[in-house]
Amino acid sequence: MILTERTSKQDPPVGVMFEALAQEVGRWWVSVEGEREPVVVSADPPREVTYTSPFLWRPSDVITLSLERFDAGCKVYLRHSSDAPFGPMEASAIKHRWGEHLDRDLRDRFDQGGRPDQYAVSLYRGDVDDWAIVDSVLGRSWQAIEPLPVQVRTTWAGRSHIATEHELRADDVIWAVEMGRHRTSVGCLPERPADLEVRLTPQRPGVGRNAEIFVPLAEFRRRLREVPSEDEHS
């Protein structure tokens, strides 16, 4: 049965992303307590990779990652399957952790040129009362219905910088990636229009743009609307 599923949008093309998933896990994967680096069980280049479970208490679970082209980059579809019992909170927490692996660890592999720094994190965060709130927001595109003040984090010279004077304009589209550090905001990536990241990120000589937008959790479903997926259109 399916324990959890999620989608990650990545800038590299399918072939590059497949190589990272199938042959370079050790270059980007960061384990926390209760985890280990997954082992590649099988690979069908350049579209699919199957992992062993990285979660020590669920050794028999199987994870399949499928890739498809998306604009100049790709989408990574993750399906975590299990024959062992699980509860909704455990499934939601594992889904969130996969988001951190794919949208932080793996993204840092390309954005920062190597393996990210170690970090400490609890898989079950006591300050999240209802993990269903997280599942209703993450892994989806959202469109602003009115101007919305946001924080923008950029990284250069190995350090993060947060600016608070930015705002989304009506009709801007963002992709919700992960909960913010204090669980009161959501980290999002610019999606549309094409110049959204340029508009939000200061130009610094010799440094590529890399903007993460933090939106207060309370603003979702109030000042943004969910953008239907391509599958829902079909």
- Cβ–Cβ < 8 Å for 41, 117: no
What 8-state DSSP symbol labels residue 204? B
CA diameter of the chain = 52
The verdict on pTM exceeding 0.75 is no
- Identify the band that residue 124 occupies on the pLDDT scale cut at 50, 70 and 90: very low
Q: Which residue has the higher pLDDT, 33 or 159?
A: 33
Q: What is the mean pLDDT of residues 71-75?
A: 90
Closest CA to 189 of 205, 173, 202: 173
Instruction: Tell me the C-alpha distance between 188 and 191, whole Å.
Output: 9
Q: Percent of the chain at pLDDT above 70?
A: 79
Q: Percent of the chain scored above 90 by pLDDT?
A: 42
Q: In this structure, are residues 189 and 124 in contact, taking their beta carbons and an 8 Å threshold?
A: no
User: Residue 196's closest CA among 211, 216, 177?
Assistant: 211
pLDDT mean across residues, the chain:
82
Domains and CATH numbers, the chain: 2-111 (3.30.530.20), 139-233 (no CATH)
pLDDT at res. 129? 47
Contacts of 102 (CB under 8 A, 6+ apart): 6, 8, 10, 76, 78
pLDDT number for residue 77:
97
Burial class (CB in 10 A: 0-12, 13-18, 19+), 123: middle
Q: For the ranges 91-95, 153-157, 170-174, which has the lowest average pLDDT? A: 153-157
